Amino acid sequence: MTEQRFGNYRVVRKLGEGGMGSVFEVVHEEIGKRAAVKVLHARLSKDPQTSARFLTEARAVNMVQHPGLVSIFEFGRSPDGAAYLVMEFLEGETLSARLQRLGRLSLEEARRITRQVASALAAAHDKRVVHRDLKPENVMLIPEPDLPGGERAKLLDFGVAKVTRAGGAAATQAGAFLGTPAYMSPEQCMSAGDVDEKSDVYALGVMLYEMLTGVLPFVAQGLGE
């Protein structure tokens, strides 16, 4: 079977797959650098709006450039037309996985993670980037011995971010339902295109509540509710 490749990167293994695409561990053929490749399904890559949101992730991260954000350093398309991003390879666990494993966190651990995520968000907001999908699944906890607690929280997935360009125009999809309901502010539920950085702060507050108690502050039967 022919090896799967993305530019100069050879696929080592698949890390995961979702409705939008797949993530692979890859290695650069010449220098041996490990990385991760996030690939948009080929059928979705043909949709201009979906492809634009995918590219927004790379632009948003590189606009901000903060150690609390995953680094993205290449964008391309595979021979079948699928768009892909090459990013740093992270070894650790998501905040979601940790909460599932432990139930809830200590006050000190929750405070430390919240402070690190808030620092990354502040840097994003300073560049007029609103994440809009902050949740435990999008926070990766990776070992970093020199930091308090021996780890760093990395903010992932800026695919539905709102990026306000110079002059005030926002690169977004007005009126679209973007985000994860349990962590979305009321105004984001009403209109994804009109939200500002306060919606990210709201989501961070929901996450802090969940880290300390092991449950979400609001639970309902239906999406709208």
Residues annotated as catalytic are 133
SS3 for 149-175, per residue?
Answer: HHEEEEECCCCCCEEECCCCCEECCCC
3-state SS assignment for residue 103: coil
Comparing CA positions, the residue from 68, 48, 72, 47 lying closest to residue 58 is 72
Q: 24 burial class (0-12, 13-18, 19+ CB within 10 angstroms)?
A: buried
Judging by DSSP bridges, how do beta strands 72-77 and 162-164 pair with one another?
Answer: unpaired
CB 161 within 8 A of CB 129: yes
CB 124 within 8 A of CB 163: no
CB 105 within 8 A of CB 211: yes
